[in-house]
């Protein structure tokens, strides 16, 4: 009798415990959905608390934050956690509900349940491993629940990056004036920063305010953009704001691989332009712009292995799609004179 009472008591404790687990799971999922809907960014520490991530996984996220991979994301249940920005060496994450429209309806109910309730850790995948388990045709047979991916299939096709180069973009007198102006403004140039705030990611100087030439450049870029759109054979778009900055790369300066439209506030950038100018004879070497071809992985553009190398040529402008990965190779400028820098006016054409 005593033993019977005890076992009943134990089973009540176990089931209450299970109810608590389910209740806290529901609370957690509600919170995650709430954050996803709000669009607020979470730091890695906050994300770790919210999703109850384990230490080794958090360390792997820290590695991703340090790595120059602006498009990193991982999956947690039916949410995507996207590395939105790097600020003060910390990663900030945007949560989004995954688009399940590609879920094959032939997944049977048991498998769906397996996916929904499999442990969080099983769903933490980086892009590479995730694509490895992604299958175009998910059938109901013989697939362990953890191997089912609700992702679109990986697109491994290499998409060549189109670009347009225009030589002698400004008149000789405009070019001379611009060069003189830039050299005179040396004291107003400030070091560039980047979203990772990592000095090993980008080193150069820029001038944000230069109305005497930004207006000229923006006007020229606006007028030529319709032709560029045709030449690059990209979808037409309504031209909105055009940004511009004046940059100087001197000895040892560089900008590692990145794209220009990866963060939410830069999403509307469609075209990147870079106008190169320098003193003649040219007193620097290097500083080539490397533009990578693209592959689509998990719905994101990532760099393919193939690329084009563009030599910065005086009075030449290049246009290419802002979502494409690119980098500026280190500049060697033995004199280290500011006047000998690799100068650019560069910026972005946004859609409205």
Ligand X SMILES: O=C(O)CCC(=O)C(=O)O
The residue ranges that bind ligand X (CB under 6 A) are 255, 260, 274, 289, 326, 328, 344, 346
Single out the residue of 260, 293, 297, 340 in contact with Fe ion (rule: CB under 5 A).
Answer: 260
- Minimum CB separation of residue 249 from Fe ion in Å reads 12
User: With respect to ligand X, which residue has the nearer C-beta, 151 or 263?
Assistant: 263
CB of 274 to ligand X, least distance (A): 4
Phi and psi at 343, nearest 5°, equal: -95, 150
Q: Which is nearer to Fe ion, 85 or 260 (CB)?
A: 260
List the structure tokens of 33.
Answer: 């959905």
Which residue's C-beta sits nearest to ligand X?
A: 289
By CB under 5 A, tell whether 243 contacts Fe ion.
Answer: no
CA angle 298, 299, 302 (to 5 degrees): 80
Considering only the stretches 61-69, 243-251, 256-264, 285-293, report the one whose residues sit in contact with Fe ion under the rule CB under 5 A: 256-264
For residues 1 and 9, give the distance between their C-alpha atoms in angstroms, rounded to a whole number: 12
Which is nearer to ligand X, 150 or 333 (by Cβ)?
A: 333
Provide the mask over 51-70, with x wherever binding to Fe ion is found by CB under 5 A and - wherever it is not.
Answer: --------------------
Could you say which residues in the range 303-342 bind Fe ion, by CB under 5 A? Answer: none
The secondary structure element, H or E, covering residue 17 is helix 2-38
Q: Answer yes or no: are the C-beta atoms of 259 and 70 closer than 8 Å.
A: yes
Rounded distance between C-alpha atoms, residue 227 and residue 233, angstroms? 10
Minimum distance from CB of 218 to ligand X (Å)? 16
- The entry of ligand X, Fe ion, none that residue 344 binds, CB within 5 to 8 Å by partner kind: ligand X
> Per the structure block, which two tokens stand in for 202?
């980008």
> Cβ closer to ligand X: 126 or 194?
194
Helices (H), 80-207: 109-117, 127-132, 172-184
Which SS3 state, helix, strand or coil, does residue 124 take? coil
| Cβ distance to ligand X smaller for residue 36 or 207 | 207
Count of residues engaged in binding Fe ion, rule: CB under 5 A: 1
Residue pair 106/139 in contact by the 8 Å Cβ criterion: yes
- What is the C-alpha to C-alpha distance for residues 183 and 201, in angstroms, rounded to an integer? 25
- Given the complex with Fe ion, which of 64 and 266 has the nearer CB atom? 266
Classified as helix, coil or strand, 292 is: strand
Residues of the shown chain interacting with Fe ion in the complex, contacts defined by CB under 5 A: 260
């Amino acid at each position: 009798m005593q033993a019977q009472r005890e076992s009943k008591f134990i089973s009540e404790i176990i089931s209450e415990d299970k109810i608590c687990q389910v209740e806290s799971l529901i609370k957690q999922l509600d919170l995650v959905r709430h954050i996803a809907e709000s669009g607020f960014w979470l730091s890695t520490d906050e994300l770790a608390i919210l999703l109850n991530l384990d230490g080794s996984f958090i360390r792997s996220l820290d590695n991703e934050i340090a790595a120059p991979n602006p498009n990193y994301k991982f999956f947690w249940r039916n949410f995507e956690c996207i590395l939105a920005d790097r600020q003060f060496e910390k990663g900030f994450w945007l949560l989004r509900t995954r688009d399940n429209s590609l879920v094959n309806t032939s997944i049977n109910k048991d498998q769906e349940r397996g996916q929904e309730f499999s442990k969080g850790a099983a769903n933490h995948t980086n892009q590479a491993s995730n694509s490895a388990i992604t299958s175009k045709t998910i059938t109901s047979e013989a697939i362990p629940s953890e191997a089912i991916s609700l992702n679109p299939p990986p697109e491994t096709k290499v998409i060549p990056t189109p670009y347009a180069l225009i030589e002698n973009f400004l008149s000789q007198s405009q070019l001379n004036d611009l060069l003189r102006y830039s050299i005179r403004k040396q004291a107003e140039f400030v070091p560039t920063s980047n979203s990772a705030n990592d000095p090993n990611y980008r080193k150069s100087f820029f001038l944000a305010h230069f109305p005497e030439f930004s207006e000229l450049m923006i006007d020229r870029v606006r007028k030529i953009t319709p032709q560029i759109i045709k030449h690059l054979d990209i979808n037409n778009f309504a031209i909105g704001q055009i940004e511009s900055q004046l940059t100087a790369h001197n000895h040892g300066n560089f900008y590692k691989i990145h794209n220009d439209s990866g963060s939410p506030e830069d999403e509307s950038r469609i075209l990147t332009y870079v106008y190169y100018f320098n003193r003649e004879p040219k007193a620097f070497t290097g500083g080539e712009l490397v533009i990578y071809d693209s592959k689509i992985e998990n719905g994101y553009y990532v760099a393919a292995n193939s690329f084009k190398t563009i030599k910065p040529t005086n009075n030449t402008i290049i246009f290419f799609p802002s979502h494409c990965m690119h980098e500026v190779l280190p500049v060697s400028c033995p004199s280290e004179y500011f006047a000998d820098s690799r100068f650019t006016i560069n910026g972005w054409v946004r859609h409205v």
